[in-house]
Amino acid sequence: MNGEDQPGLGIGMIGYSFMGMAHSQGWRNARSFFDPALTPRLVAIGGRDGAAAADVARRFDWHHVETDWRALVARDDVDLVDICTPGDTHAEIAIAALEAGKHVLCEKPLANTVDEAWAMVEAAEKARVHGVRSMVGFTYRRVPAIALARRLVEQGRIGTVRHVRAQYLQDWLRDPRSPLTWRLQKDRAGSGALGDIGAHIIDLTQFITGERLEGVSALTETFVRERPLPGAVHGLSAQAGEGAGPVTVDDAAVFIGRFSGGGLATFEATRFAGGRKNAIRLEINGSRGSLAFDFEEMNVLHVYDDTAPSSASGFTRVLVTEPDHPYVSAWWPAGHLLGYEHSFTHQAVDLLDALAEGRDPTPSFADGLAVQRVLAAVQTSAANGAGWTPIPLDA
């Protein structure tokens, strides 16, 4: 079908920085190789800095710029609101958009608190009755190797899940001279490494296993408790305590957990792992085999089959670029690798197809709430000296 013959969906996106640009290219490229049932129209991009928003609009072919998110939500030509703003704004924007009859895609984590996430889920359920859909942007689910891991677990290839290990390692805050940003402020971000990157590995392990975490025991730490304010750094250093502000979130979180099927789990999320830029490491051990993944080698999934003869035992390195692998058939010939940006295109296409078919996209706001409950349990456990903290599984 020619894209000109397909019905259009007006996209309004709020936020224009890192995630805003990632989402922009996802929407813009949705029809480059795929054939979604709806054609996304990049109607308007919103942000408080009109000049910065206009620059991103020019780069990604957004038609209009709004400096008030309420004006963007109110536009008649916007059918879906894409929220790429800090966590403290997610609930207000998402609920307003859903009440206005707009579909919503909201970046992760869903909110800053469980109460906010609950309110978003309730608004989503009310809107769903009227055909209005919502989704949270846990984009790493759309990495082909991770989607393949989920498929193999669903097929029973590794048997019963017994042990999960998950790490998200970065090093971008190891320098104490790195300036204070909104990601280091609890009132803006909710939490630090825990919510920013830990949320991803919580979601990924629950997605791959098909199970939920039912309890955790956790420790968190803030290694650098004060940082220079933006613009306060002169040359390579700043006067201690002069033009500086407090860091009010964690720099690292470690916790153990138990999955609903009985399997044990260990998690690490840190911004202080020297030499690790964006290392997502997952290993799922089951009764019949294991899976291992490292985002620094994102086109590869390591698969161990426990039923193979001992003479051929060991992990098999699967290059996830074959046409029968998830998402890959739309792209390049086998062996030609995909990158970070492709998962945002997969997200856009999956959402467009779900809306066209009148079905609920995934991950849902309820899935986002499930992750939010784990984040809250980790914070509670850490505040109580690593005490075991149950996570309700009734939602």
pLDDT tops 70 at residue 364? yes
Distance CA 202, CA 187 (A): 22
Closest CA relative to residue 97, chosen from 113, 74, 76: 74
Domain identity same for 329 and 370: yes
Range of the domain at 27: 3-140
Backbone angles phi, psi at 130, to 5 degrees: -100, 15
Question: Does residue 312 fall inside a structural domain?
Answer: yes
Domain identity same for 8 and 136: yes
pLDDT tops 80 at residue 375? yes
> Which of 99, 116, 140 represents a domain boundary (last residue)?
140
Domain identity same for 225 and 287: yes
pLDDT tops 70 at residue 395? no
> Is the sign of the CA dihedral 176, 179, 184, 187 positive or negative?
positive
Closest CA relative to residue 135, chosen from 343, 342, 379, 355: 355
Number of domains in the chain: 2
162-179 mean pLDDT: 96
Scanning the structure block, which residue is given the tokens 């480059």? 32
pLDDT-derived band at 232 (thresholds 50, 70, 90) equals low
- By the 10 Å C-beta count (0-12 exposed, 13-18 middle, 19+ buried), 186 is classed as middle
> Is the sign of the CA dihedral 17, 226, 171, 365 positive or negative?
negative
Domain identity same for 172 and 134: no
Distance CA 167, CA 158 (A): 20
Which carries the bigger pLDDT value, residue 176 or residue 312? 176
- The answer to whether the CB of 124 falls within 8 A of the CB of 60 is no
pLDDT at 241: 46
Structure tokens at 346: 């997969």
Distance CA 289, CA 235 (A): 53
Domain identity same for 136 and 147: no
Structure tokens at 217: 């025991």
> Which of 121, 140, 159 represents a domain boundary (last residue)?
140
Number of H helices, E strands in the chain: 12, 17
pLDDT-derived band at 242 (thresholds 50, 70, 90) equals low
Domain identity same for 42 and 87: yes
Please name the residue ranges forming H helices in 358-390: 365-383
Question: Does residue 395 fall inside a structural domain?
Answer: no
> CA distances (Å), 62 to each of 11, 167, 302, in order?
9, 36, 40
Domain of 122, CATH number, reads 3.40.50.720
Closest CA relative to residue 253, chosen from 181, 315, 199: 199
Distance CA 322, CA 329 (A): 7
Question: Does residue 394 fall inside a structural domain?
Answer: no
Distance CA 372, CA 114 (A): 6
Candidate from 58-72, 130-144, 158-172, 234-248 with smallest mean pLDDT: 234-248
Closest CA relative to residue 18, chosen from 142, 183, 176: 183
Domain of 148, CATH number, reads 3.30.360.10
Domain identity same for 210 and 318: yes
- The answer to whether the CB of 312 falls within 8 A of the CB of 300 is no
Distance CA 92, CA 342 (A): 29
Domain identity same for 277 and 135: no
CB hemisphere CA count around 116 (13 angstroms): 18
Describe the chain by its helix, strand, coil percentages, rounded to 5.
35, 25, 40
Question: Does residue 367 fall inside a structural domain?
Answer: yes
Distance CA 191, CA 113 (A): 10
pLDDT tops 80 at residue 366? yes
> Which of 70, 105, 140 represents a domain boundary (last residue)?
140
Question: Does residue 197 fall inside a structural domain?
Answer: yes
Domain identity same for 128 and 168: no
pLDDT-derived band at 237 (thresholds 50, 70, 90) equals very low
Domain identity same for 73 and 167: no
pLDDT tops 60 at residue 234? no
Question: Does residue 331 fall inside a structural domain?
Answer: yes
- The answer to whether the CB of 233 falls within 8 A of the CB of 177 is yes
pLDDT tens for each residue of 317-359: 999 999 999 999 999 999 999 999 999 999 999 999 999 999 9
Which residues are bridge partners to 283 per DSSP?
165, 292
Question: Does residue 69 fall inside a structural domain?
Answer: yes
Backbone angles phi, psi at 135, to 5 degrees: -150, 150
Domain identity same for 183 and 321: yes
pLDDT tops 60 at residue 305? yes
Tell me which amino acid residue 102 is.
K
pLDDT tens for each residue of 120-168: 999 999 999 999 999 999 999 999 999 999 999 999 999 999 999 999 9
Domain identity same for 20 and 97: yes
Question: Does residue 20 fall inside a structural domain?
Answer: yes
Q: Which residues contact 42 (CB under 8 A, 6 or more apart)?
A: 11, 13, 24, 27, 28, 60, 61, 62, 63
pLDDT at 239: 45
